[in-house]
Amino acid sequence: MVIKCIFSIPLKSIRDYARQITELPPLPEYITIRGPYIHDALGVNNQTITLYEFDESRSAEAWKSIFKQLDAFHAVPGFTFAAEILSKEKRVRKVSN
């Protein structure tokens, strides 16, 4: 299973965002992180895409671990994110803050 997160950060908050990243505790070993990938679209804040991959049997605990990390970014002015749960069968759910 994969959780795809799109993070949006205003340019003026990049340093705050970078500082928060360095202070994050590691995720459990059963979660593989792909990215961040830069999404370079005109007229939007700086956007990155990160993929979190894990076995579907651990989805509840993976969600908890990932969102515990993402909670740290609420201190970054203007930070927003959207998350989608992806599986091989179909897109399952979309979450935004």
Per-residue pLDDT at 4 = 93
CA–CA gap between residue 54 and residue 87 (Å, rounded)? 11
Residue type, position 87, single letter: S
Asked if residue 48 belongs to a domain, the reply is yes
Asked if residue 22 belongs to a domain, the reply is yes
- Under 8 Å between Cβ of 7 and 74: no
- Under 8 Å between Cβ of 60 and 23: no
Strand, coil or helix: 53 = strand
Asked if residue 97 belongs to a domain, the reply is no
Per-residue pLDDT of the chain (97 residues; tens, 9 = 90+): 999 999 888 888 989 988 988 888 899 999 999 998 987 766 667 888 999 999 989 989 999 999 888 888 888 999 998 998 887 765 555 555 5
Question: Smallest Cα–Cα separation from 75: which of 5, 23, 25?
Answer: 23
Asked if residue 59 belongs to a domain, the reply is yes
Number of domains the chain is built from:
1
Domain that holds residue 54: 8-28+35-81
Asked if residue 87 belongs to a domain, the reply is no
Asked if residue 71 belongs to a domain, the reply is yes
